[in-house]
């Protein structure tokens, strides 16, 4: 049966339901029936300004998990870097122009990032940034986003851009949140809350962009790509075990995207017709291979943990190769930027942006559009477009572990 502690979590959640965290967008929240509606399109969801139609029947009416916690980099940063001294910030237009508020929030996208869509699938409000919330219990009870743009697995990755919150520091912030829950809710309730929630990890790409590919500290002479990938994967393995020791039991570990196809590297490596840079993509595929193998090892080592690895490279390449069927016109050019493929200069003003981001795969030099994020999130949740999560998708993990709790 569900434990008394877990029932207490949902009771507390209901009491503080007027959290200051960003609410469900009104177009997705039917107040009269308390149902969530998610845009449905057999090829891909359009931008968030489109009129929604029900995807799930019946729709989610209560949270499937107590909370969603997020650790990562610019792929999932929702505003932490707004409070830091760094060039890696997305707090200016045209970032956020297609978001629910049509304002920049710190998300490196024209609209939503993947964890926004996953929060809706889980029946949760958008997760607030760690530095943007007040520190009150009600602001953190449904989850916290610790992600910081430019952060990497290696402590110093991305440091040339200014301040960022490293992976190690993000995990420390999560531990601080855990201790605050213990002080406010008690240890037993906190253990049930954390072990029943989902922790989403998306980090590692900056260790290539800002470290290995720039040959910082002569790293390329010290490590061949294979050895560098092994080093990163082994570090991630230890950090996941550290989080497990903080009673996390449901992990979503994201692989890395095909940055060899990103506009920045297409222009830098002088791609003629938008062909991806294979030597970079080969490194990314290798890292993802190690991460999937590491997931298998941890599942045997930590039998009571649910860990899924989602191969973003695989899901993204399916979109690029079959872009017409997904409704995309441009696979190489960023919507916002300057130079060849709009990859030479970062997105800095609304005048640099295309009119319609929804037919582009890339928003800026490195980051995908809202439309791509929606597809990838659907794959993480239910493998809707392609199987990219192993050994199962998030929906199956949530419901299978929920059934186990009822036994």
Cα–Cα distances (Å) from 151 to 170, 261, 262, 347, in that order, read 10, 21, 18, 19
Handedness of CA 161, 90, 128, 363 (dihedral sign): negative
Give Cβ neighbours of residue 95 (< 8 Å, ≥ 6 apart).
104, 105, 106, 107, 108, 109, 110, 347
Residue 272 is given by DSSP the state: S
Other C-beta atoms closer than 10 Å to the C-beta of 304 total 9
Cα Rg for the chain, rounded, in angstroms?
Answer: 20
In whole angstroms, what is the distance from residue 110 CA to residue 118 CA?
A: 17
Let me know: does 405 contact 374? Beta carbons within 8 Å.
no
Let me know: does 192 contact 5? Beta carbons within 8 Å.
yes
Let me know: does 147 contact 90? Beta carbons within 8 Å.
no
Peptide bond into 391 cis (omega under 30): yes
In whole angstroms, what is the distance from residue 275 CA to residue 68 CA?
A: 37
Nearest to 47 by CA among 396, 291, 372, 392: 372
Nearest to 394 by CA among 175, 88, 68: 68
How many helices, marked H, and strands, marked E, lie in the chain?
A: 14, 9
Let me know: does 66 contact 9? Beta carbons within 8 Å.
yes
Q: Return the SS3 of 43.
A: coil
| Half-sphere exposure for 234 (CA within 13 Å, toward CB) | 6
What residues are annotated to the active site? Answer: 74, 364, 367
In whole angstroms, what is the distance from residue 373 CA to residue 115 CA?
A: 9
Helices 4-15, 187-196: crossing angle, 10 deg rounding: 80
Q: For residue 230, which phi and psi values (nearest 5 degrees)?
A: -60, -40
Residue 215 is given by DSSP the state: T
In whole angstroms, what is the distance from residue 177 CA to residue 197 CA?
A: 14
């Amino acid at each position: 049966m569900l434990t008394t502690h877990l029932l207490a979590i949902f009771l507390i959640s209901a009491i503080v339901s007027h959290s200051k965290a960003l609410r469900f967008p009104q177009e997705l929240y039917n107040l009269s029936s308390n149902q969530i509606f998610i845009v449905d399109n057999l090829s891909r969801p359009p931008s968030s300004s489109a009129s929604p139609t029900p995807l799930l029947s019946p729709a989610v009416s209560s949270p499937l998990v107590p909370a969603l916690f997020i650790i990562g980099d610019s792929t999932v940063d929702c505003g932490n870097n707004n409070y830091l001294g760094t060039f890696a910030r997305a707090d200016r237009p045209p970032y956020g122009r297609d978001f629910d508020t049509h304002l920049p929030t710190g998300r490196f996208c024209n609209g939503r990032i993947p964890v926004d869509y996953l929060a809706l699938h889980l029946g949760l409000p958008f997760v607030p940034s760690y530095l943007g919330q007040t520190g009150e219990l009600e602001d953190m009870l449904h989850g916290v986003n610790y992600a910081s743009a430019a952060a990497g697995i290696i402590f110093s990755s991305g440091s040339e851009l200014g301040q960022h919150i490293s992976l190690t520091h993000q995990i420390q912030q999560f531990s601080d949140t855990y201790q605050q829950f213990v002080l406010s809710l008690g240890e037993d309730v906190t253990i049930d809350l954390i072990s029943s929630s989902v922790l989403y990890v998306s980090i590692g790409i900056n260790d290539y962009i800002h470290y290995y590919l720039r040959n910082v500290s002569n790293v390329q002479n010290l490590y061949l790509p294979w050895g560098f990938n092994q080093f990163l994967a082994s570090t991630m393995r230890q950090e996941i075990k550290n989080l497990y020791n903080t009673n996390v039991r449901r992990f979503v570990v994201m692989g890395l995207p095909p940055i060899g196809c990103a506009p920045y590297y297409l222009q830098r490596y002088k791609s003629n017709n938008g062909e991806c840079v294979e030597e970079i993509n080969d490194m990314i595929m290798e890292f993802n291979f190690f991460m999937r193998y590491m997931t298998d090892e941890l599942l045997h080592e930590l039998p009571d943990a649910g860990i899924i690895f989602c191969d973003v490279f695989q899901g993204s390449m399916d979109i690029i190769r079959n872009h017409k069927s997904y409704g995309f016109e441009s696979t190489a050019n960023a919507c916002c930027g300057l130079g060849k493929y709009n990859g030479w200069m970062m997105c800095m003003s609304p005048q640099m942006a295309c009119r319609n981001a929804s037919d582009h795969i890339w928003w800026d030099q490195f980051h995908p559009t809202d439309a791509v994020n929606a597809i990838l999130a659907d794959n993480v949740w239910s493998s809707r477009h392609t199987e990219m999560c192993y050994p199962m998708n998030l929906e199956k993990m949530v419901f299978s572990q929920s059934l186990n709790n009822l036994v």
